[in-house]
Amino acid sequence: MSKTKKQLSLTLKRMFDLHPKLIDFDLNRIKLLMDKFDNPQNSLNSVIHIAGTNGKGSTATFLKEIFEAHDLSVNIYTSPHLINFNERIRIKKNLISDETLLKILKEVEIKNNLEPITFFEITTAAAFIAFKRDPSDINIFETGLGGRLDATNIIENKKLTIITKIGFDHEEFLGKTIEKIAKEKAGILRKNIPVIIAKQNKDKALKTLVIYAKKLNSRLIEIDKIPKDLKLGLVGDFQYENASTAFTAAKFIMPSISFPKVKQGLAQTSWSGRIQKINEGQIFNLRKNITIIDGSHNQDGAIVLNQYLSKQSLGKWNLIIGMLNNREIIDFVKIFKKHINQIYATTIPKSANSLTPQDIKNKLDDLGFNTNISKSFEDAIQKADNKTPLLITGSLYLAGYALKFNETIIN
């Protein structure tokens, strides 16, 4: 590990420890901090703000690729990262450098002066500062959780807001009903600023979003669907909905949009950990059949997985699963259980909130499985029959660990 990388790691750890809670909705902390930097978030070019339960990252990435195909520069902030923290902050096609990130974080640390602040608020502050110092034509921000009280929502000068598909997730923070969740997501809307609402599976979610848009006189931009025969860089039929949302947004920003360049952007889009096929590395070398890594962790994600598995002609799959203890693992797995042969339960490394393998077994055996308890992810990989197709899912954090394990061996 380089000296800069080590310093960065230590700095991030110090900042992670500044607040006893990982999630604590209160915008006053980041507002006070950004005041000390003269509020860089309010002087960024063409800000597009995206909230939703599923599809935020894919939509943001499609959008980024479309803009870049038109030779526009793009800064983009997403979360969480899968392998490298720098993935969260991308500046003009590149991850933020360790040197730049470390410099900004040290400035943030000094001005914050040990005041309580959450880790997400710190990373969001770093993105605001980085994007102000290295300006781009377009700035895309994905909310972390919710919308109304998300740290990214202190941005006032927005060009466009986007709400992707809404479902049940993080109910302990956002509410137990779909209307309450939709209300929180709608918190990113601004008066007189247009909004694109992606196709919704739940009528109550759509109705709630439309009500809030009308209250704010936020013009609803109708989705312009892309053809289903267009090649996408991301796998799954549902991605055509995300691509259509991105195309609609790009067309709003660029009325003279070039469809050949749109096709180019959509075809070259990649997004790690989303129905990602492993074609090289340690996992690939250990196996004689297809391996898919997917970070899905809620029912809507499970529906997408079920649709994907139903279109394959590979028989039943083995499943390596790890999940956080605030997820409904039975509701998740039962959606695609007909495609599963054997389950290997694992803990999510370095996650205090992970379900234990025994917890997973106790729950999933109620679905008729004899779940295998694995002492580690590596143990699960070794145990899984290498001739049977393998699905690794249940958490973005597990997906990130699996990809890091694979990458470590490659390098």
Tens of pLDDT, residue by residue over 148-180, are: 999 999 999 999 999 999 988 655 657 679 999
Tens of pLDDT, residue by residue over 285-308, are: 888 889 999 999 888 889 989 999
pLDDT of residue 363: 94
Provide the edge-to-edge strand list for the sheet that holds 89-91. Answer: 94-95, 89-91, 74-77, 138-142, 47-51, 160-163, 195-197
Which residues are CB-neighbours of 35 under 8 A, at least 6 positions away?
none
Average pLDDT over residues 7-36: 85
As a CATH number, domain 3-267 is 3.40.1190.10
Average pLDDT over residues 219-227: 96
Indicate the pLDDT class of residue 45, thresholds 50, 70 and 90. Answer: very high
Q: Which of 75-79, 221-225, 350-354 has the lowest mean pLDDT?
A: 350-354
Provide the edge-to-edge strand list for the sheet that holds 390-393. Answer: 276-277, 291-293, 390-393, 317-321, 340-345, 372-373
Which is it for strands 372-373 and 340-345: parallel, antiparallel or unpaired?
Answer: parallel
Average pLDDT over residues 61-84: 96
Tens of pLDDT, residue by residue over 87-106, are: 999 999 999 999 999 999 99
Q: Choose among 134, 128, 34: nearest CA to 74.
A: 134
Mean pLDDT, the chain, rounded, equals 92
Which residues on adjacent β-strands are paired with residue 196?
Answer: 162
Q: Under CATH, to which class is 276-410 assigned?
A: alpha beta
Q: Choose among 235, 239, 87, 236: nearest CA to 164.
A: 239
Where do the domains of the chain lie? Answer: 3-267, 276-410
- Please give the DSSP secondary-structure letter assigned to residue 354: B
Which residues on adjacent β-strands are paired with residue 125?
Answer: none
pLDDT of residue 173: 59
Q: Choose among 388, 354, 393: nearest CA to 286.
A: 388
Average pLDDT over residues 389-402: 94
What is the C-alpha separation between 268 and 234, in angstroms, rounded?
9
